[in-house]
Structure 1
Amino acid sequence: MEIEVSANTMYYYTGLLLIFALVSTLASHYLFMKRPLKFRTKIRSPPSPPALPILGHFHLLSSTLPKSLENLARRYGPLMRISIGSSHFLVASDAATAREILKTHDVEFASKFVFAPSHHNIYRDAEFVNAPYGTYWKFMKKLCMTRLFAGPQLERFSHIREEETSKLLGSLWRQSVGKEACDLSTELTALTNNMLCWMAMSKRCSRNPGQPKEIREIVSNMMACGAKLSFAEVHGPLKHIDLFGNGKRLRMALRKFDMLLEQIIKEYEESNEVRDPSSINEEKDVMDILLETCRDPDAEITLTKDQIKHFFLDLLIAGVDTTSASIQWAMVELFNCPEVLTKLRYEIDSVVGSTRLINESDVPNMPYLQAIVKETLRLHTPGPLLRRRCNTVCKINGYDVQAGTNILVNAHAIMHDPDTWTDPDRFIPERFMKDSDVDRKYSAIVHSQTMDLRGQDLHFLPFGSGRRACIGVGHAAIVMHITIGVMIQCFDWKVREEEKMNIKVVTGYSGAMAHTLLCYPIGRLNPLVLMNGK
C-alpha cells in the first residue's frame, strides 16, 4: 500500500536533508583545506568554474547539457573540471584533447562510468555497454565483432530490414492515399524496434508477431521512468531517496522486462532448433548465439541469464531510439532545405531510376545520400557526450588525471567547433563531398570528405571512437541510408503551415527530439509497384 505524504511534510524533510548535506560538504571542505599545502600542490588539475556548495556547477548548466558545457569550455579551456551535485567530471571539448583520451591513452580510458540512475538497476554488475574494461567486456566485444554483428551476420539479416522497410512504406502509402497526417516519430521507432527484435529473436517473433510491440512498450515505459528522474535524484545528495516514486516505477518496469525475457529464454532452451548441434549458422538469431555460448564448456567465460537479459536491454535502448531520432533529424533538415532534397532526389533518380526501390548495394554509388547522413549525425549526434573512466594515473594536456576520474568527451562541441567547421550550425551536406566548391569553402581545416562513421578522425565522431565506440554502427548506417533514401524516392512531404519546422531537443544530454514529427506523405512513386521491380 502506498502512503501519501503532504507537500509540507515532504518539503520539511527535504529541507533537513539539504541542511545535512550542506554541513557535510562544508565540513569536508574544511578538513581538506587543513591538509598540508605540500600534499595539495602535488596534483596539477584542470581549470574549473566557481562552484556552489552541494549544487557544484548546476547553476551554470542549462537544460541542454552538451551546449552548456560547450559554452563553459570557451572560457575555461578544452579540458575542465565540472561538478554536478555529488558527481565530478573532467570535460574534453576539442578534437586534440579527445585524441589524447580516445586514441593515445585509449587503454587507460577504456572503462565507462554510468551517467544514469544505476542504483535502480536490478541487473547490477550484469551490463555490457557500461561494463568495466576487463575480461567480461573483452569477451562480449569479441563475440559482437566476430559473430553477433559481423558483416556476414548483418548480411543474413538483410531480409528482415527489407521486410520491415516494406511495412513502413506500405503504411506511409496508405496514409498518403487517405490524405492523413503521419506521426513519423512513431513510424520510425516501430521500424527500428521491429528490426532489432527480429534480428535478436526471430524464432520467438515468428511464433508471436506481437512480441516486438510488447517489448517496445515495456522498454518505452522503462525509459520514460528513467527520464523523469531529475539531476538531483541521480547526482545530488538525495540520490538514494526516491522522493517522487520514479525509481520504484523504473524497477517495476525492469522486473516486467525480466519476466518476459525469462520466458523467452526458457522457450529457446526447450526448443529443438536451439538444442540441435547440426543447426546451420545461417538460421541462428542473436538469442541462439548467446545461449549457445552460454552452454559452451570451452568458452572463455560462462554467461549468466542476467547478462543475456541486460545485453538485450542494452541493444534495444541503444539501437532503437538513437537510429530513429537520427532519421527524423535528417527528414527535418531535408524539409527545411528543399534544395538539398531536390539534389538527393536527382541522385536517386540517376542511380536507381523509377522502376525499383533503392537497395543496400546502391548506397556506395550515392555520395550525396552518404553526405546527408554524415551531416545529420554531425549536427544532431546520437551520442553528444561520450563517457569514460580513467583506469590508471596519467597526464592529459599537461594536467594530472587520477584513477577513477569520470570523463565526458563533448562530441557535440567538437562537431560544432567553429575552428574546424565553417558555419557549424548550418546543414550543409556538401562539406562531406569531394570536388565541390562548397566543400572547399565549408570543410575548413579538416578534410571532411575522407571522414567515416567510426570515429577515425577525431573531428567527426558521431558513434564515438576507440575501444568503446558503438558496436552497432554498421547496422545503424545501413538503416539510415536506406530509410531516408526510400522515403524521399517514394514520397513528397508536406508539413504544417509553418515555413520551416522548428524542432526542439529534449532536455538532458540526449540528442533526441522533444516532440513527435507530424507531416503529410504525398505519393510520388507507388512503393508497392517498385517492390516488384527490385
Structure 2
Amino acid sequence: MVSFLHLLLALSLFVFIILFKKSKKPSTLPPGPRGIPIIGNLHQLDTSNLHLQLWNLSKIYGPFFSLQIGLKQAIVISTPKLAQKVLNDHGLHVSSRPPSLGSQKLSYNGLDMIFSPYNDYWREIRKICVVHFFSSKKVSSFSHIRKHEVKEMIKKISGHVCSSKITNLSEIIMSVSSSIICRIAFGRKYDEEGAEKSRFHGLLNETQDIFTSFFISNHIPFLGWIDRLTGLLARLENTHKGLDAFFQEVLNEHLDPNRKKEAEEDDDVVDVMLELQKQGHLSIDLTHNHIKAIMLDLLVAATDTSAATSVWVMTGLMKNPRVMKKAQEEVRNLYGKKDFIDEEDIQKLIYLKAVIKETLRFYAPAPLVPREVNRSFMIDGYEILPKTLVYVNVWAIHQDPEAWEDPEEFYPERFLNNDRDFKGQDFELIPFGAGRRICPGIPMGIATVELITANLVNSFDWEMPTGMTPKDIDIEGLPGLARHKKNHLCLVAKNSM
C-alpha cells in the first residue's frame, strides 16, 4: 500500500512538473530564495517560526522579496515604509485574507468577519460588529464583566499566596480572558469545574490547533488527497461538528422563552444578533450560521489575543526587573493601598500603558499580517498580480533598526516622549495590522489587557520559583491566530508590602 502511494505521488508530480513548465510565465515579482518545481519554498519553511525565518531571509534578499508557497506566489514586506505602501496606499488591492481549508470550514464558508473575502458582505458584517460590539460605548458597557472576572482572578491568586502554591499565570490569564469573552458573547462562562469545562476548553484548544495545522490542499490542491490519508480532513470535520453543536446549544439557550438572565447583565452578542435577525432591517439575511460564524471570531480571536498579550506583558516585566519596579511604583504611588485598580484609574498609568505598547512591539502577538491580492498593482517597479499572497512581517518591522533605537532591548520609555500608537496610523507599530482589515476589536482587547496587568502588578510582588532566575524564562512562541508563549509562565506570588 505504501509503495503504491509513493508511486502514485511520483507519477502525479512528474506529470504536473511537465505541465507546470509549459504553462509557467516569467515572474513579475522581486527576487527571493530559489525554490523547486511544485513545492516552491515549502521545504525551506517552518510554520512554527515563519516570521523569524522570513526576517532572516529579508537580511539576505532585502525587505521586499518573493517566495513560492506550493503553487502560489507570495511577497514579503519587512519595513514600515513598504507596509504603508501595501496596507495603506494599495489597501484596496490587498483587502482579502488568504483562503484556507480550515478557516473556511470553521467559519461556515467565510460568513464571519475575520476570514470573509473583501466584498459587500464583509463590509456589512464588519459594520454590525463595530457598531454593536466594538464601539467605545459598547466596550464601556461591558466594564462590569471585566471587573468581576479580574477580581475573581485576584482572589484565586491570593489563595496561592496563602498556600505558597506556584501560580501558572498562562492558565489563569487564559481562563479569565475566556470567561470575559464568553460572558460578553454568550451571556455566561464555561469555566466551572466538570465535564462542561473540559468540553469547552477541549473545543477551544482543538480549534486553535486546526487553524495552525498544515493542509497540503491549501498549497498544492492536486495533492489534497494526502490530507485525507493523514486524517487531517476527518479531524477538521469533527472539530467543525463539535463547534457547531456547541454554538447551536448556545443559540437554543437564547431562543428559550423561559431563559433567565442575571439582573445586571446587558444583552450579549448572541442576544443582539438574534434581535437584528428578527428586525430584518439589514442588507443581508442573517441566518443562524452567520451568528455562529461571529461567535467563532469572538471565541477564538478575542480570547487568544487578550490572553497572549497579557502573558507577554508579565513575561517582559519579569525578565526586566527594573521595568517591573517602575511599573509597580507608578500604580502604588498613585493609588496607595487600593485593593482594586478600576478602568478609570488606568488612564493615569502612563508608564504601564508604555509597557503594554512595548510588549506589543517586542513580542508581537500577531507577528505576520497575511493578505491576498484581489486587484493587480505596481510597487517599486514590480507588478503584483491577483491571488498573490502578501505577508507583512510585523516582527521584522518592530525590530527594524531604522525605525527603532536599540530594537532588541525591552525599553518602555521609548513611548513616553512620542505619540506612536498601535491603531494603524504609525506603520512602525502595527501589532493589530493596518488598513481596511485592521482588527476592529482593539478597544475591547486593550481594555482587558490593561485591567488584568494593572491588577497583577498592583496586588502582588512576583518572584521566580526556587532555583530559577528571570533569565530562565524563555520567549519561544507557538504558531496560531495569536502567538502564545510556548512554555507556561509559572511564578510565585507574594502579597505586596
Q: TM-score surpassing 0.5?
A: yes
Q: Residue 146 of structure 1: CA displacement? A: 1.4
What is the aligned partner in structure 1 of residue 452 from structure 2?
483
CA distance in 2, matches of 1:175, 1:309: 37
CA distance in 1, matches of 2:376, 2:255: 45
Q: Residue 514 of structure 1: CA displacement? A: 1.5
Counterpart among 323, 340, 350 of residue 367 in structure 1: 350
Q: Residue 461 of structure 1: CA displacement? A: 0.3
Greater shift in the superposed pair: 195-204 or 288-297? 195-204
- Matched-pair contact (CA < 8 Å) for 2:78–2:394: yes
Verify: 1:48 aligned to 2:32, yes or no. yes
What is the aligned partner in structure 2 of residue 514 from structure 1?
486
- Matched-pair contact (CA < 8 Å) for 1:504–1:513: yes
Q: Residue 267 of structure 1: CA displacement? A: 2.8
CA distance in 1, matches of 2:480, 2:354: 28
- After superposition, the Cα gap between the structure-2 partners of 1:230 and 1:390, relative to the gap in structure 1 and judged at 3 Å, is closer
Q: Map 1:80-229 to 2 at 5 A.
A: 80-114=65-99, 117-118=102-103, 120-121=105-106, 123-202=108-187, 214-227=199-212, 229=213
Q: Residue 378 of structure 1: CA displacement? A: 0.7
What is the aligned partner in structure 2 of residue 431 from structure 1?
414
- After superposition, the Cα gap between the structure-2 partners of 1:433 and 1:18, relative to the gap in structure 1 and judged at 3 Å, is farther
What is the aligned partner in structure 2 of residue 416 from structure 1?
399
Deviations 1:366-391 (A, max 9, x none): 11101110111111112111121222
CA distance in 1, matches of 2:284, 2:248: 21
CA distance in 2, matches of 1:208, 1:517: 22
The sequence identity of aligned pairs, in percent, is 28
What is the aligned partner in structure 1 of residue 428 from structure 2?
459
Verify: 1:296 aligned to 2:279, yes or no. yes
CA distance in 1, matches of 2:191, 2:32: 55
Deviations 1:3-45 (A, max 9, x none): xxxxxx34x3542343134314421332136xxxxxx56x732
Paired amino acid for 2:487:
H
- Matched-pair contact (CA < 8 Å) for 2:105–2:240: no
What is the aligned partner in structure 2 of residue 524 from structure 1?
496
Q: Aligned to 1:56, what secondary structure does the other structure show? A: coil
What is the aligned partner in structure 1 of residue 245 from structure 2?
259
CA distance in 1, matches of 2:185, 2:194: 14
Paired amino acid for 1:425:
E
- After superposition, the Cα gap between the structure-2 partners of 1:481 and 1:116, relative to the gap in structure 1 and judged at 3 Å, is farther
Q: Residue 50 of structure 1: CA displacement? A: 0.8
Counterpart among 10, 22, 29 of residue 20 in structure 2: 29
Verify: 1:498 aligned to 2:468, yes or no. yes
Paired amino acid for 2:41:
H
Paired amino acid for 2:63:
P
Q: Residue 457 of structure 1: CA displacement? A: 0.5
Structure 2 unaligned spans of 5+: none
Deviations 1:171-219 (A, max 9, x none): 1000111001111111111111000000012168799999676433312
Greater shift in the superposed pair: 163-172 or 499-508? 499-508
CA distance in 2, matches of 1:346, 1:508: 35
What is the aligned partner in structure 2 of residue 469 from structure 1?
438
Q: Residue 220 of structure 1: CA displacement? A: 1.5
What is the aligned partner in structure 2 of residue 405 from structure 1?
388
- Matched-pair contact (CA < 8 Å) for 1:201–1:285: yes
Give the TM-score, by structure 2 length. Answer: 0.91
Counterpart among 32, 57, 60 of residue 41 in structure 2: 57
Give the TM-score, by structure 1 length. Answer: 0.85
Greater shift in the superposed pair: 198-207 or 451-460? 198-207
Greater RCO between the two (CA within 8 Å, min separation 6)?
2
- Matched-pair contact (CA < 8 Å) for 1:66–1:509: no
- After superposition, the Cα gap between the structure-2 partners of 1:186 and 1:14, relative to the gap in structure 1 and judged at 3 Å, is farther
- After superposition, the Cα gap between the structure-2 partners of 1:212 and 1:373, relative to the gap in structure 1 and judged at 3 Å, is farther
Paired amino acid for 1:72:
L
- After superposition, the Cα gap between the structure-2 partners of 1:417 and 1:484, relative to the gap in structure 1 and judged at 3 Å, is same
Greater shift in the superposed pair: 114-123 or 76-85? 114-123
Aligned length: 489
CA distance in 2, matches of 1:456, 1:145: 18
CA distance in 1, matches of 2:10, 2:486: 35
Deviations 1:90-141 (A, max 9, x none): 2111111111111111122111113563465472242321101112111111
Greater shift in the superposed pair: 14-23 or 400-409? 14-23
- Matched-pair contact (CA < 8 Å) for 2:102–2:236: no
- After superposition, the Cα gap between the structure-2 partners of 1:429 and 1:24, relative to the gap in structure 1 and judged at 3 Å, is farther
What is the alpha-carbon root mean square deviation over aligned residues?
Answer: 2.7
Verify: 1:350 aligned to 2:306, yes or no. no
Greater shift in the superposed pair: 154-163 or 252-261? 252-261
What is the aligned partner in structure 1 of residue 219 from structure 2?
235
